[in-house]
Chain A
Amino acid sequence: MSSRSVVIKILIVLTGVGLSVRLFYIQLLDSDYERAAENNIVQKIIEYPYRGLLTDRNDSLLVYNTPVFDLMVIPNQVRIPDTTRFLQLLQISDTLFLERMNKAKHFSYKLASVLVNQLPNEHLAQIQGELIDYEGFFVQPRTVREYSYSGLAHTLGYVGEISLQDLKRDTTGYYRGGDYLGRSGIEQAYENDLRGERGVSYRMVDAQRVAKGKFREGTFDTLPEPGKDVQLTIDIELQQYAEKLMDGKVGSVVALDPKTGEILALVSGPDYDPSLLSGKKLSTNYKPLEEDSLKPLFNRALQAMYPPGSMFKTVQSLIALQQGIVTPTQKIFCEGDLIGDLAPPGKYDIKRGITYSSNNFFFIVFRRTMLQQKDPNMYLDSRIGLANWRDYVTQFGLGNRLGVDLPNEASGHVPTVDYYDKIYGIRRWKFSNIYSLSIGQGELLVSPLQMANLGALLGNRGHYFTPHLVKRIGNETSIEAERQDVEIDSVYFDSVLEGMEQVVTIGSGRRAYVNDLQICGKTSTVENPGYDHSGFLAFAPKDDPKIAIAVYVENAGWGGRAAAATAGLIIEKYLKGEVSRKYMEAYVLKGDFHD
């Protein structure tokens, strides 16, 4: 045998070995190919769950889902016999049609893109019969939010497509581009409960993306898990009544149940119809709402901050009483020359001071609170007094967020020692610089929610429950809020509450008076450039409080008018079921509170 034949045989064997080694590498050692093979054939289909429903405290349905249909197009299958008629059916212009077709083609010839999104059910029903004549199109059902009532928009919030920033911020990796999520209100705060869990199914497709059955017999498939229904603490009937009273006004109403912290009504005026921001309408309606000078998207009930005004005299009273600076029956003669006042000069105790809202009385009380002779130096004594006072004030839920279960709650402001140091310099301020605080003006800022909560605290004689809007999630037991106690002995509340009762019976809050109801209230006229804001804080009944309320009406003047009248009507509606004082209702609805 020729030696050259041996060389050729060796060449052949080496070739065989070489190919086998290479195959060993790609088949056994490199796992990339296996993954690539699965990527080739496996198509992931996401099944969207139903978003949870929202109901009020009495199980009235507030928000539900309604089906809409996206018209999808697969560019390489398109056949349109009559373009004019087709555009007519879809009610889109030919330029828009061409633009979207090009976009779809740019994305993929073989995969479906949205041509027309969110066709309403009725529209689809009209055109479905004719749509069959056009190849390469199909409809994909989705759901959008539908609202039973036109109000409560600020609380409910809205659902919209996820933004790029949110997508980047999502560390859980749950969301994808094009997903919808709650963007404000309850929809945002309870997104994780409402959204449910997406289902995923894997199917095999060939190179033309034609389905070839389930991947691995559906081992990896999961069913979508519907979102949990969320029951709100809102009483929709009361809410609607409050909205009706606030119609056309700028301001807010917060009503809550003092025994639980459950918010019964939350109104911010002006408001908007939540369905304006549902589904397809969001893109057209959002901008005008955002640019409106009255800021309808701004939730005044939670986000607006005003000086508390005279309502704050209740807090001042309790702090002074607790420290023994005044006793419940102690009378102080007021000449009425220390500070501007509407109350006449005379002898005042706590009860009378509150009833007539005497500025001079509370000026004196606050001066004693600030200057407790802990230090002979007036400047240093004021510092000690302010720090001590602030400790008490913050216990009333002021100066910090209460922790309501909605986003963007305002914290308000209770000035600190540092705060005045920055304004005046250390040791360069004393009581005379900060006396406005005595009557709830100056640097104090509170939100309407905080004032309603103060009403609950007063009614409960020393404690409150964190205000909240959700009563129940899914089938879980009711949510119970944390009880917060304030370090004021309950005996000191007597004189304050008696004063508040008289505010309604004989004082500035007489418009809130309702027969057979022991309502305790306090008006505020919040100083403001332009017309003052009208504020009113109340709870009722006095000995067994079932509702606490704060009402603010901007630029409506005296607290005793717009706010007190509105609050009284809402209390009456809630506790009696209906309003007998139609003249008062007409007065509020008319909305002209200036003489």
Chain B
Amino acid sequence: MTNTRDQSSDPITIGLFLLLTLIGWVNIYAAEYDPDTSVGIFSLSQSSGKQLLWIGVSLIMGLFVYATDYKLFDSFAYLIYLIVILMLVAVLFFGKEVSGAQSWFQIGSFRLQPSEFAKYATLLAVAKYLSELKQKTLEVRHIIFAAMLFMIPLALTILQRDAGTALVYTSLILVLFREGMSPLVLIFLITVVALFLLTLLVQKTLLLIGIVIFALIILGLTARTAKRIGWVFILTILAVGMVVSVDFAMNEVFQPHQQKRIMSLINPNADPLGVGWNVTQSKIAIGSGGFQGKGFLQGTQTKFDFVPEQTTDFIFCTVGEEHGWLGTFAVIALFCILLIRLINIAERQKAKFARIFGYGVVSVLFFHFLINIAMTIGLFPVIGIPLPFFSYGGSSLLSFSLMLFTFLKLDAHRMQVLQR
């Protein structure tokens, strides 16, 4: 690697970014297309025209990021974090409610969603905190403090009744895992989520019997010492406790609309015209695409309004309907390539801050990508988070672009770190 002062940013990532936003833009146009009233892809009366404007704004913002001194992100990380947290608090009092979530500032005709930028600020703060630790290994107190950094915006976002966006912060566990957190924590969390979903899917008694049988098998295979037997025993009790309490929570704690949303994941056909409507229609749109899709602008389910929010959270339906499995596979492949490319870039960082921030970007993008597509095909409850670079919307596009460009800016200076 040459030791030039100012390296160009990674062209592969820039290319993938441009490709994804472009495909997203075309699909936004197709999702709303109506041959009778169409005024073209560039018209500002259409979402596609506005999105093009936002793509332009994102690119200009990218230039600003490049013009900024790369050290400032590190230096001002906590300050930015503090400001955004204050905004999250302020929005609770002065915010405007949009579709049930109190998460918007309205300034004239301009609307801003601070929670989108809170993700960015949180990534900076977590990266800052972890990069400044002197110890080689991550201790429990460090993990707890780092977790606090993202649990605060998470809690505030939940207070805005925007649970979907709040859940995104949990993806930062992946960052902690990369930085040395015990894999058991990751396995534990995945088990908890799996148990949660199984509780909803499978009858309680059957599930409890299954857990006991599973525990007995583990005992027979591994338990040699009293300590291990004790652990298996404790974990089994915990699992049983969780199943029972989730069952209780489903019936007693959750609000009816939350119950319905969760249950519609389990069986969208139970009430196809009610809560399950979104998922049912979304699956119909994607499923009817077949192998090759119906062709550009030939989709019927999205543009005839059967699929709700077809330009934002359910934009993936248009891809599935008009371009079939080939289209969805291509989009999934592009996302995977982008994420792996970002990991490679993160791994080549000499500065801890840049690497951790990079993993933060990967975690957030990965979470959005996985959950958004999973909810359109009925694998996850509809929690209303956008597909990065695809979904129509200025705040989310700017937020994702800001993360990406900041990371690329840091990467461009990766050789200068030693001179600091």
New A-B pairs, 7, CB < 8 Å, besides A4-B177, A36-B284: A5-B343, A12-B366, A15-B366, A23-B286, A23-B332, A37-B300, A206-B303
B415 interface residue (CB < 8 Å to A): no
- 10 closest pairs, A vs B, by CB? A33-B287, A37-B288, A206-B304, A207-B305, A16-B336, A26-B287, A27-B325, A36-B284, A34-B288, A41-B300
Given the complex, which residues of A lie within 8 Å of B359, measured CB to CB?
A: 8
**Residue B54 at the A interface, CB < 8 A?**
no
A427 at interface by CB-CB < 8 Å: no
> B288–A23 contact, CB under 8 A?
no
Query: 8 Å CB contacts to B: which residues of A188-211?
Result: 204-208
Interface residues of B in 289-330 (CB under 8 A from A): 289-291, 300-301, 303-306, 320, 324-325, 328-329
- What are the residues of chain B within 8 A of A28 when measuring CB–CB? 290-291, 325
Answer whether residue A19 sits at the interface, using C-beta atoms and an 8 A cutoff. yes
A19 touches B288 (CB 8 A): no
Chain B residue with Cβ nearest A36: B284
A34 touches B290 (CB 8 A): yes
Residues of B within 8 A of A4 (CB): 177-178
Inter-subunit contact B377/A23 (CB<8 Å): yes
Secondary structure type dominating chain A contacts? helix
Contact assessment for A27 and B332 in the assembled complex, using a CB-CB cutoff below 8 Å: no
A30 to B289, CA, bound (A): 11
Assembled-state Cα–Cα distance A37/B303 (Å): 12
Give per-residue flags for B53-86: 1 if the beta carbon is below 8 A from chain A beta carbons, else 0: 0000000000000000000000000000000000
Query: What per-residue 1/0 map shows which CB atoms of B263-304 lie under 8 Å from chain A?
Result: 000000000000000001101111111110000000011011
The answer to whether A33 touches B284 (Cβ under 8 A) is yes
Complex contact B288–A8 (CB within 8 A) = no
Is A516 located at the chain interface by the 8 A CB criterion?
no
B332 engages A41 (CB within 8 Å) = no
Contact A41 B178, CB 8 Å, known A22-B377, A27-B289, A27-B324: no
Residues of chain A within 8 A (CB-CB) of B347 are: 1-2, 5
Does A338 belong to the interface (CB within 8 Å)? no
Q: Is B379 an interface residue (CB 8 A)?
A: yes
| Contact between B284 and A5, CB atoms less than 8 A apart | no
Which A residues lie at the B interface, using CB under 8 A? 1-2, 4-5, 7-9, 12-13, 15-16, 19-20, 22-24, 26-28, 30, 32-34, 36-38, 40-41, 204-208, 212
Cα distance, A34 to B303, chains bound together (Å):
16
Are B320's CB and A27's CB within 8 A? yes
A12 to B368, CA, bound (A): 12
Query: Which of B287, B324, B325, B370 has most A Cβ within 10 Å?
Result: B287
Interface residue? B39 (CB, 8 A): no
A20-B332, A205-B304 given; A8·B174 CB < 8 A: yes
Q: Interface digits, B111-131 against A, CB 8 Å rule (1 contact, 0 not)?
A: 000000000000000000000
**Docked-complex contact A12 and B336, CB < 8 angstroms:** yes
Contact sample, A vs B, 12 pairs, CB 8 Å cutoff = A7-B183, A8-B359, A12-B366, A13-B336, A24-B325, A27-B286, A33-B284, A34-B290, A36-B280, A40-B284, A205-B304, A207-B305
Contact residues of B between 168 and 227, Cβ < 8 Å to A: 174, 177-178, 183
Residues of A within 8 A of B329 (CB): 20, 23
Determine the distance from Cα of A204 to Cα of B306 in the docked complex, in whole angstroms.
Answer: 12
Q: Within the assembled complex, what's the spacing in Å between the Cα atoms of A204 and B300?
A: 9
- Chain B nearest Cβ from A442, distance in angstroms: 70
User: In the complex, how many angstroms separate the beta carbon of A167 from the nearest chain B beta carbon?
Assistant: 27
A8, A34, A205 pick with most chain B CB within 10 angstroms: A8
How far is it, in angstroms, between the C-alpha of A205 and the C-alpha of B303 when the chains are bound? 11
Is B385 close to A, CB under 8 A? no
The answer for the CA separation of A16 and B335 in the assembled complex, in Å, is 8
**A37 CB contacts on chain B under 8 angstroms:** 284-285, 287-288, 300-301
Alpha-carbon separation in the docked complex, A19 to B329 (Å): 9
Q: Which of A12, A20, A33 contacts B283 (CB 8 A)?
A: A33
Q: For residue A42, give the distance in angstroms from its CB to the closest CB of chain B.
A: 9
A73–chain B nearest beta-carbon distance, Å: 22
Q: Tell me if B333 is interfacial: C-beta within 8 Å of chain A.
A: yes
Cβ 8 A contact of B343, one of A9, A40, A208: A9
B362 within 8 A of A: yes
Compute how far the CA of A28 lies from the CA of B290 in the bound complex, rounded to whole angstroms: 5
A2 near B332: Cβ-Cβ < 8 Å: no
Measured between alpha carbons, how far is A90 from B308 in the docked complex, in Å? 40
Q: Which of A15, A27, A207 contacts B304 (CB 8 A)?
A: A207
Whether A23 and B301, one on each chain, are in contact in the complex, defined by CB atoms closer than 8 angstroms, is no
Contact B340 A27 (CB under 8 A): no
Min Cβ gap A462→B in Å is 72
B289 to chain A: which residues have CB within 8 Å? 27
Question: Does B287 lie within 8 Å of A15, measured CB to CB?
Answer: no
Tell whether, in the assembled complex, residue A23 and residue B285 are in contact, meaning their CB atoms are under 8 Å apart: no
Chain A proximity of B288: nearest CB distance (Å): 4
A208 contact set on B, CB distance < 8 A: 305
Contact at B377–A19, with CB atoms within 8 Å?
yes
Closest chain-B Cβ to A222's Cβ sits at a distance in Å of: 22
What residues of chain A lie closer than 8 Å to B369, measured between beta carbons? 15
User: CA of A22 to CA of B377 in the docked complex: distance in angstroms?
Assistant: 8
User: B89 at the A/B interface (Cβ < 8 Å)?
Assistant: no
Complex: A23 Cα to B317 Cα, angstroms: 11
Also in contact, A27 and B300, with CB within 8 A (given A16-B335, A20-B328): no
CA distance A8 to B359 in the complex (A): 10
Is B373 an interface position by the 8 A CB rule? yes
Chain B, residue nearest A212 (CB): B304
Nearest-CB distance from A362 to chain B (Å)? 79
Report the Cα distance A206→B281, complex, angstroms: 13
B331 to chain A: closest CB distance in Å? 10
Complex contacts, B285 vs chain A, CB 8 Å:
37
The answer to whether A32 and B328 touch (CB under 8 A), given A22-B379, A23-B377, is no
Nearest A residue (CB) for B186: A7
- B374 on interface, CB distance cutoff 8 Å: yes
Residues of B137-182 at the interface with A, using a CB-CB cut-off of 8 Å, are: 174, 177-178
**Interface contact B339-A12, CB-CB below 8 Å:** yes
Query: Nearest Cβ distance between residue B317 and chain A, in whole angstroms?
Result: 11
CB-defined contacts of A32 to chain B, threshold 8 Å: 287
C-alpha gap A41/B299 in the complex (Å): 11
Measured CB to CB, the closest approach of chain A to B343, in angstroms, equals 6
Q: Which B-chain residue is minimally distant from A38 (CB atoms)?
A: B288
How far, in whole Å, are A8 and B340 apart by their CA atoms in the complex?
9
Tell me the complex Cα distance, A12–B335, Å: 9
In contact, B374 and A19 (Cβ under 8 angstroms):
yes
A212: chain B residues within 8 A (beta carbon): 304
Chain B residues contacting A16 (CB-CB under 8 Å) are 332-333, 335-336
Contacts of B379 in A (CB 8 A): 22
Smallest Cβ distance from B307 to chain A, in angstroms? 9
Contacts of A206 in B (CB 8 A): 303-306
For A30, the closest partner residue in chain B by CB is B287
Measured between C-beta atoms, what is the minimum distance from B52 to chain A in Å? Answer: 25
Q: Which residues of the partner chain B approach A204 to less than 8 Å between Cβ atoms?
A: 300, 304
With A36-B284, A40-B301 known as contacts, the answer to whether A12 contacts B340 (CB < 8 A) is yes
Alpha-carbon distance A22/B374, docked complex (angstroms): 9
Cα–Cα, bound, A28→B287 (Å): 7
Closest Cβ–Cβ distance, residue B143 to chain A (whole Å): 15
Q: Which residues of A contact B174 (CB under 8 A)?
A: 8
Q: Closest chain A residue to B333 by CB distance?
A: A16
B178, B284, B328, B373: the one contacting A8 at CB < 8 Å is B178
Distance of B248 from chain A, by nearest CB (Å): 31
Instruction: Check if B340 sits within 8 Å of A23, measured CB to CB.
Output: no
The CA-CA distance from A205 to B366 in the complex, in Å, is: 37
Name which of B284, B291, B320 has the most chain A CB atoms within 10 A of its CB: B284
Interface residues of B in 359-416 (CB under 8 A from A): 359, 362, 366, 369-370, 373-374, 377, 379
Whose C-beta in chain B lies nearest to the C-beta of A23?
Answer: B328
Check if B328 sits within 8 Å of A33, measured CB to CB. Answer: no
Establish whether residues B362 and A8, one from each chain, have CB atoms under 8 Å apart when the complex forms.
yes
Residues of B within 8 A of A24 (CB): 325
Asked if B178 contacts A2 (CB within 8 A), the reply is yes
A146–B325 Cα distance when bound, in Å, is 59
Residues of A within 8 A of B178 (CB): 2, 4-5, 8
